[in-house]
Amino acid sequence: MTGPDDLRDPDALIRRAKRGNPEFDQHFLVDDRVLDRLPSYLPESADRSHVLEIGGGTGALTDRLLAAAPDDGEVTVVERDPDLVAFLRQEFADAVDAGELTVVAGDALEVELPEFSASVSNLPYGASSEIAFDLLPRKRPLVLMFQQEFAERMVAEPGEDDYGRLSVSAQHYADVEIVEHVPADAFDPRPRVDSAVVRCTPRAPEYEVADEAFFLRFVKALFTQRRKTMRNAVRNTAHISGLADPDAVVDAAEESLMSRRAGTVSPAEFAELAALARQVDPGVERGG
């Protein structure tokens, strides 16, 4: 494995790689201090034997992940830019030959991801939501870089302005926390927004969900009408949630809950309402 004194300079990597293809909207993290800290944000108990990186770019984070890997550990990096795939395989040829690094060519949402023990990734902004919600159900520790606004929505609590479907869905799978705010000038080229690093530590929710797909769809539906009372949101979004008899759900639920708005409802309360909906509405669309 690479030693900490042999880490590659991120700016030099960009020069050697000739940046890659502009059509992929790439923003390479070049702040050495942030790069050095990212692997350390994994929970202490995390299994680091096989770390997955999505969006390897020119390999600055890949280099740090290899340096932080335990003996016999491995890193898999997924990169969709074919020019950068070739660059990574050449730049890290020794690690590839030693079986320490695997470079997977393709879109992370389309290729078959390997079994991994944890993921540390500077996610491509355009696909960060889809990738995050592919990774979260796999119940592995995650350290992921997002646009700051997205990160703040992930960690928001009921009653806060940023609290929404994303908050409920992310917190259903894990304890989520922002561990570092990263300014735009830490990247090259500089993006128009700041970023934040989110640590996701998997854990079972404090509530029971018999039909996870319906629960998440139900939450999604209700937040499309977040300015309405829950009573109206349940009735107006049956075509999204799959309810056959939304009035039955409204009539069976507590009035105190139905008079509130989705932005004040906790994940546990959403789960309780989803369970009630499955109980009183025999025609509800299951799973999906």
122: annotated binding-site residue? yes
Please say whether the beta carbons of 195 and 182 come within 8 A. yes
Token pair recorded at residue 17 = 């790689």
The string of pLDDT tens digits covering residues 45-54 is 999 999 999 9
27: annotated binding-site residue? yes
The string of pLDDT tens digits covering residues 182-233 is 999 999 989 999 999 999 999 999 999 999 999 999 999 999 999 999 999 9
The string of pLDDT tens digits covering residues 224-279 is 999 999 999 999 999 999 999 999 999 999 999 999 999 999 999 999 999 999 99
Domains and CATH numbers, the chain: 4-202 (3.40.50.150), 212-280 (1.10.8)
4 pLDDT higher than 80: no
Backbone angles phi, psi at 141, to 5 degrees: -60, 135
55: annotated binding-site residue? yes
107: annotated binding-site residue? yes
- Give me Rg for the CA atoms of the chain: 21
Q: Where are the beta strands (DSSP E) in the chain?
A: 28-29, 50-54, 74-79, 101-105, 118-122, 142-147, 174-182, 187-188, 195-202
